Each structure stands twice: as structure tokens, then as C-alpha cells.
Structure 1
Amino acid sequence: MLRAVPGLGGPLTAEFEVGYVGAEGSEVRTSLIDSAGVPFELVKPVRGFPSYKRQRNFPGLWWSSTTGAHVGYESWLERDHLMLLDFAPAVAGIASQPFWLFWNDEASGRRRSHAPDYFARLADGRGLVVDCRPVDRIKPRDAAAFAVTGRACELVGWEYRLVGAPELVMVRNVRWLAGYRHPRYRLPAVGAALREVFAEPAPLMDGAGAAGEPIAVLPVLFHLLWCGELACDLGVRLHEATIVTTAGAC
């Protein structure tokens, strides 16, 4: 049983429980501490992604190159952050709506629950829990749930992020590269030529032309940028003169 944790910004309720979908499709309930070893990056969502007439949010499925499967999202904001997780080289697995966190709300005396938007497994084995919400849409009740979720994550050694709107230019650049994330764009001979060309930094289109016919080379170039085998500054708009080089040389 977990008691209040000093230094975490206020009282923490006595019991955390975690609910998730088990291997056979039934709900599993366990303590927070016992859930720390669950591979949440592999679980199914604890709730669905409904679609209905006059809906104000835009749910859907994202094909993840990290997992090789579809991952759900409930809004375009969630989709953008899911895309960025898929793009991040440190992320080895992703699941949406991975678990319910249950706790006793001391202010109201009621049992509360919250399902974070994403759980990501990092390459070094650590867990990352992500909630997506624009700053201007966080109501006091939501803020309390996010704060408690952050405290719970800290107890079991997971990183917690509450994220709002991402940087626009970065998102647009990554969204373009995401169109080439599928392995079908990995052509070994073209990739080898591109890595050789960009061993020294060069403008994107100049390097594509040096590696072969641009119309055939560019999809492979964008795929290698997505995979992190080539690199450029994605904080500025991607264009024909963008300087590209092999990863780690920027």
C-alpha cells in the first residue's frame, strides 16, 4: 500500500491500482508497484476510439514503423505526438490508452481513474507515459489527474510528460518524412549511394542528383532521414537546399 510521498507536491492517496487488458483479453487489476514490470508497450487499449456523427475530435489509427502495427489516437494532437514518438530513435515500443490508473481522491473522497494517452518503452528499458492536452484546455479536475499520474509514474521509475501543441515546423517536417516511413522505401543500393554522397554535408537536391535519378532517389533519402541514418535540421523548413549529412555529423 502506497502512502503519501514527501516532496511530491501534496498528499498522495493511500492506494494506487492499475487496470489493463491481459493476454487473453480480460481486465487485469494489480497494484501500481506490481505493474512496474508489465510490458505496457505491448498491451491493447483499455478503451476504444469511437467515431460518430458531428464528432469534435478526430480519432484514427497510425501505422507505426516502430511496432509494425497500428496504434490508435483520439485527436490530431495525439496523432502528432504519436508520430513524434514513432520518429524518436530512443523509442522501442508504443501503445495507446495502455492502462487505467485508479486512486482515491482525498478532496472528494471518491475513487478516480485516468487512462494516459500513451506508454512508450525506451531503448534503454525505461518506461515513458505521455498525456496530450493543449494548455488552454486543462481544467482543474484534469490538472489534478495529470499531477497524480505524474506522481504515480515517479514511484515506479517511469518518466511522465504532459505535452501540448508541438513546434509547428518540426511537426510539418516530420509529417512529410513519415510518408516514407514504410520499409518498402529501403533500397539498399540507393541507400549506400546516399550515405556515401552525404558523408560530407551537402544540399538535399544536389546530393539526391549525385546519387542517381532524383525521382527514384528522393523517397529513399526521405526514408533514411526518417530512420535517422541521414540527418538535417528539422527545426527549419525542409527544402531543396536543406543541408543533409550522415547521422551524427550535424
Structure 2
Amino acid sequence: MKETVRAPEIESRPAWSHSCALDDLVAPYAIDPAVTEGLDTEPGWARRWTARWKTAQADVISPVQDLTSVPAIASVPVRGFTWRAGQRHRPGLQYLLATGRMHGFESLAERNLLMALDFVGNVVEVLSQPFKLRFTTVDGSEDHTPDFLVLSPDSAMLIDVRPGHLVKDNDLVKFAATEWAASAVGWRYLVASGWRRQVLTSLDALSARRRPMSDRLGLRGELLELLRERPRRFGELAEATSLPAVARAHAVHLLWHRRLAMDLAKPLDDASWIYPVGRAS
């Protein structure tokens, strides 16, 4: 009898749009603890390892143990974004509602990460290529520039974005070193190597209506009132309003801004179940 293979739990459980965090959407790369054996982590390592920040006036070099004392907001990316014919990656700029400005990315994978950060919220600032980390291993010194530093009201997180199939052995050493540097100052570290199934498609659909919209016809009130009665499928919900074609756009806007709820692990279409916030199940 053929054995039934079950999907991992993270793929089967819902990803509720109104309450999910980045960890509920991304597939992190697990760093093997054995990789750290090649790092120089003898006493005093946090003084020997350094971070070079770039500002409009000059470069600032600090020991890793002093990362939190550097005025990160005044920094600029340590590596410029370049465009040239024939390059295999796709750089660009992504606008974030959370910060009200454009942020550089070096690949479409990084752009997707920025979109997800904008959706999950609790973001004060996002710095692209924030600093160059110089660390030591048993074989000498190496450099690594994390992709993003995400600042929240009460925490910070370093993020590298690398699709799992592109991670190389040398990357693992750099990831392990960055994780050590982040932990030295109480920051989190994440290697985003993939996404839960369907999540990016759903987020991309919602992001089309993330910018401010006027509601002179009061359709948002109609949508919220209809859902107070019971959850409804997206198509049914829109058709029950006084102007279905316009109500669809407002429903997507409310989903992005977390005033309505859906399961991001399923595609958004007319059959999608839409819930009032607090009653998703």
C-alpha cells in the first residue's frame, strides 16, 4: 500500500491576513550550528569584528558590540544599486507605505520581502545594505553586507534574502557570522529563502489597492456591515453592495489594511472566504 505523504504543518495551517507576522509567511533558511565552528568566536570577538556604515559625510566604523550606538537612520546603503545591460538580477526601488519613501532592492526576491514587510506592519524604518560586516574565521577575515536592517518600535532585525537553491557553502559562513553579530546586540536575524505557497500571489493582489482611496459612496461601511452578519465569499460580498464593481476595490483595500481578514495561503478570487477581523476561523 502506498504511503501517504503529508505536507509540512506550516503549509497546511492558515495565514490570516489580519494578524500574521513575517514569520508566518516566509520560509526561513535553517543555519546548521556546526557552521559556527569555523568562526573566530574567542573572547573579545565582538570587539574584533567591525561594521562599516556609510553616511553622507564619511564612513563610520564601529565594533559589532556597538552596533546599537550607531545612528543608523543617518546612514545610506554601503553598496550602490546599479543597472547594466546583461545583468542577471533585477534591481529597483520599492515604495513602502510604512516609511513613506522608496527603498532599494537588488533582486525581485528582495522586492517581495519589502512588500511583505510593508504588509505585516510594525515597521519604523527599513535600511537597504545597511553596513558591511567584517568578521574573522579560522582562515582569516571576510566581509558580508546584509540585505536589510528593519527597525521596529522596540526591536530590530537583520535580513538576508537568498532563494534556497542559490545558497552556497560560503554563504552559510556569512549567514552564521551575521547571526552572531545580530545576537551580540539583541537583534533578530533571518535568512528568507522562500515563501509559503500562494502567499506572494495573495500579497501582490492586495498591494494593488494599498494606497489611500476616497470612499465618497460609503462602500467600506457597507462591506463591514455585511460581514457583521456572517463571513461571505468575496464575490458574494461585493455583489451584495450598492455598487459591486467599485466595492471590489474597496474590499481589497480593507484586506491590505487589515480591517478585513482572509487566508493568505489560498488564492484571492470570488470563492475566497472573507471574515470580519476577530472572527477569522
Place the TM-score, normalised by the shorter chain, in its bin: 0.7 to 0.9
3-state DSSP of counterpart to 1:120: strand
Aligned match of 2:227 in 187, 190, 198? Answer: 198
What does 1:47-196 correspond to in 2, within 5 Å? 47-107=79-139, 109-110=140-141, 112-123=142-153, 125-183=154-212, 185=213, 187=215, 189-196=218-225
CA distance in 2, matches of 1:171, 1:39: 33
Q: Which residues in structure 2 correspond to 1:211-230 (within 5 Å)?
A: 211-230=241-260
Query: What is the CA–CA distance in structure 2 between the aligned matches of 1:8 and 1:156, rounded to whole Å?
Result: 21
C-alpha distance after superposition, 1:68-117 (max 9, x if no partner): 1111111111111121111113433322111211222332x23x221111
Structure 1 position 62, deviation (Å): 0.8
Q: Does 1:232 align with 2:265?
A: no
Residues 33-81 of structure 1, C-alpha deviations (whole Å, 9 max, x = no match): 2221446467422211111001101111111111111111111111111
Q: Which amino acid aligns with 1:118?
A: F
Q: Residues 199 and 265 of structure 2 are in contact (CA less than 8 Å); yes or no, is this contact kept in structure 1?
A: yes
Per-residue CA deviations over 1:185-220 (Å, capped at 9, x if unaligned) read: 253833333222223311112222333312212222
Q: Structure 1's 94 and 191: CA in aligned 2 closer, same or farther, altered over 3 A?
A: farther
Q: Which one is further off, 45-54 or 32-41?
A: 32-41
TM-score scaled by length of structure 2 = 0.78
Bigger shift: residues 156-165 or 202-211 = 202-211
8 A Cα contact 1:12 1:148, kept in partner: no
- Partners of 1:43 and 1:220 in 2: how far apart? 38
TM-score normalised by the chain length of structure 1: 0.87
Contact 1:186 1:220 in 2 (8 A): no
Task: Name the CA distance, whole Å, in 2 between partners of 1:121 and 1:141.
Answer: 27
Q: What residue ranges of structure 1 are gaps of 5+ in the alignment?
A: 1-6
Match of 1:27 in 2: 59
Q: Do the aligned residues in 2 keep the contact of 1:41 with 1:121 (CA within 8 Å)?
A: no
- Give 5+ residue unaligned stretches, structure 2: 1-33
CA distance in 2 between partners of 1:155 and 1:97 (Å)? 19
CA contact (8 A) 1:42 1:95 kept: no
Structure 1: 4+ residue segments shifted above 6 A: none
Task: Give, as a single letter, the amino acid of the residue that structure 1 aligns with 2:133.
Answer: L
Tell me: higher relative CO, structure 1 or 2? Use CA pairs within 8 A at least 6 residues apart: 2
Amino acid at match of 2:259: E
Give 3-state SS (helix, strand or coil) of 1:63's partner: strand
Contact 2:83–2:91 (CA under 8 A) maintained in structure 1: yes
Are residues 1:248 and 2:281 paired? no
Give the RMSD, CA atoms, in angstroms.
2.2
Helix, strand or coil: the match of 1:49?
Answer: coil
Q: Is the 8 Å Cα contact of residues 17 and 30 (structure 1) preserved in structure 2?
A: yes
